[in-house]
Amino acid sequence: MALGALIGAYQEDDSGSLTALLPLAGRTLVEYQVRCAAAAGASPVVVLVERIPLALNQAFERLRHEGLNLILVSDGNEAATRFEAGELILVIGDGVAPPLELLTGLSGEEEALVLTVPDDEQHESYERIDGVSRWSGVALVDGRTLGSTAAVLGDWDLPSTLLRRTLQAGSRLRSTPPDQEPLVAHNPGDLEMFDRSLIAKSRGPRSDAASRYILPLVEDFATEKLTETRIRPDWLLYAALALTVGAAFAFTRGWLWPAVGMLLLSTPLDLIARRLGVLRLRPIAPNSFVQLALWPASGLALLALAWWETRHGGGWGAIVCAICAAAFAQAYAIERAHTDIVLPPWLVTRRNAILILLLFALAGAWTGYLIAVLVYAAISFFFVQYLVHRLRTELTTR
């Protein structure tokens, strides 16, 4: 069934400004709401407004530039005309910050549904439904109910009136899981904890030692600062790729330390880019060309270092080490892509290899690094081969 969304953006917060403009994840609350609705599959996303100050207009322009099907309306009748009669409509209350996983969990619903929270002291700011429950700020209503409500709305508040008529029509009630409860915000302080939780959740699992133990502080700091900017996640990926290719060029010219510096700067950028994508509800595709290109670009940098070493005392063994290391690393990557086994974080990755390079660079042992990375890649490949073979043996003997 088609799904649309209706969001209110007209109520004022405690300071007299629009609640929709409260800051969240480096943007505004209404931008977060619209992106959540779109990520849940809603189109169009209709926003009910009474006035559009400059800051709100800028927020809507940013959303339009992202290609979202966003429609602004000024009253309930106009809102009702934007949806089909049999269409389900995701309603998000004004000032409500819902977790994305709550909205995406509604994708399979085909009937009206009101999500509730307990009627207790902790939820006093939520709208009461009955003696045991309150409205969480999220509901699914059908287009016919919206149309009939808008026809008799008058001066009443559309979301509240729509909620009442949906309940009178016999809509189901469902308790919201405690870990997915939407937040009703009245001032910036209400969103601080929710904002921190979004930033924390954006940090996905880390499979290598460098990103798990060494880069988190840099990654967390940069992510928090960049959420407030207009920097796009893909720009960071392009920057990481440019730094890696630039390092390869620097190695060929003998600029060893500048090359090491560029590689080090590139290590957290793809992680930060992914987190920005998650925070802005536009995650980077796993098969993104730029992201996939970081691996061969790193191999190019390795070969460039070996080529320089070959011409400056390392002999032909340096380039052989680099070629063999690249081959083992690629073989490992192929094996890793075709197994679901949880692998230890010390195995070869681009970031791990770059941090090992720093240690050998401090000692001036460039050829030693090439030998070490060959051994490292070979051990990683044979180790994953051993794990895969052991798993197959266990499955066969069962």
- Band the pLDDT of 75: cuts 50, 70, 90: confident
Look at residue 207 and tell me whether its pLDDT is greater than 90: no
Look at residue 1 and tell me whether its pLDDT is greater than 70: no
Looking at 3.50.50.60, 3.90.650.10, 3.40.50.720, 3.90.550.10, the CATH number of the domain 3-190 comes to 3.90.550.10
Q: Half-sphere exposure of residue 1, counting CA atoms within 13 Å on the CB side?
A: 21
284-304: pLDDT as tens digits: 888 889 999 999 999 999 999
Look at residue 154 and tell me whether its pLDDT is greater than 80: no
- Band the pLDDT of 265: cuts 50, 70, 90: very high
What is the Cα–Cα distance from 346 to 363, expressed in whole angstroms?
A: 22
Look at residue 2 and tell me whether its pLDDT is greater than 80: no
The pLDDT > 90 percentage for the chain reads 56
How buried is residue 330: exposed, middle or buried, by Cβ count under 10 Å (0-12/13-18/19+)? Answer: middle
Q: In the prediction, which pLDDT does 332 show?
A: 93
Average pLDDT of the segment spanning 370-398: 87
Q: Which CATH superfamily is domain 204-397 in?
A: CDP-alcohol phosphotransferase transmembrane (TM) domain (1.20.120.1760)
- Band the pLDDT of 38: cuts 50, 70, 90: very high
How buried is residue 16: exposed, middle or buried, by Cβ count under 10 Å (0-12/13-18/19+)? Answer: exposed
Average pLDDT of the segment spanning 179-196: 88
77-107: pLDDT as tens digits: 888 889 887 789 999 999 999 999 999 988 7
Q: What is the mean pLDDT of the chain?
A: 90
Q: In the prediction, which pLDDT does 85 show?
A: 77
What predicted TM-score, i.e. pTM, was given to this entire model?
Answer: 0.85
DSSP-assigned states of every residue in 182-237: -EE-SSHHHHHHHHHHHHHHT-----SHIIIIISHHHHHHHHHHHTTS---HHHHH
DSSP classification of residue 52: -
β-pairing, 127-128 vs 133-142, is antiparallel
Residue 177 dihedral angles phi and psi, to the nearest 5°: -55, 140
Q: In the prediction, which pLDDT does 155 show?
A: 59
What kind and span of H or E run contains 141?
A: strand 133-142
Q: Half-sphere exposure of residue 384, counting CA atoms within 13 Å on the CB side?
A: 26
The pLDDT > 70 percentage for the chain reads 98
What is the Cα–Cα distance from 97 to 99, expressed in whole angstroms?
A: 7
Q: Map out the domains of the chain as residue ranges.
A: 3-190, 204-397
Q: In the prediction, which pLDDT does 12 show?
A: 86
Look at residue 41 and tell me whether its pLDDT is greater than 80: yes
β-pairing, 45-48 vs 70-73, is parallel
What is the Cα–Cα distance from 54 to 72, expressed in whole angstroms?
A: 15
Q: In the prediction, which pLDDT does 372 show?
A: 96
β-pairing, 88-92 vs 27-28, is unpaired
